[in-house]
Structure 1
């Protein structure tokens, strides 16, 4: 089974379960400010989810000076995580 890699600012931590990765990203890394709306959000998956659920691709490209390839890569990460993650477990763990 493939391991999930954090990859935030050079963090090479890996996890067997995607839920462990998501909790790690939300709890162990500094929150970031969205360049589109100014919301402060956890980095990693949650930042990607915020960007693509709350803003258009065009807004994201302008705010982050992102290429089409960068947008597609982040969309693929979001899709891959959402295909297997138990988001309820992640939220419950973060609420503890």
Structure 2
């Protein structure tokens, strides 16, 4: 399965999810969480932050999202969480 970056028109594609996440962290700017102001990586780790640290209602209010946006991101998180090797990802991110 190929993994696409998915950030604002980035066409990068990777053979594994860990490489895609590492790319998102290293090749794209970090963003400020609209709920708490924490600076987070764009992409998967940013979505994971919002959905694990804040309620769905906070996400909807802060990002102007709707129920479809929530479902789409929850599905993405579930798919990645089922696939990602967190130890391997940590090795990618730590260098």
In structure 2, distance between residues paired with 1:31 and 1:42: 4
How many residue pairs align between the two structures?
A: 95
Once the two structures are superposed, the pairs formed by residues 1-96 of structure 1 within 5 Å of their partners are 2-96=1-95
**RMSD of the TM alignment (CA)?**
0.7
- TM-score (normalised: structure 1): 0.95
Alpha-carbon distance in 2 for matches of 1:91, 1:26 = 12
Helix, strand or coil: the match of 1:26?
A: helix
Contact 2:19–2:92 (CA under 8 A) maintained in structure 1:
no
TM-score relative to the length of structure 2 = 0.96
Unaligned runs of 5+ residues in structure 1 are: none
Partner of 1:32, secondary structure, is: strand
Q: Give 4+ residue runs of structure 1 displaced > 2 Å after superposition.
A: none
Q: Unaligned stretches of 5+ in structure 2?
A: none
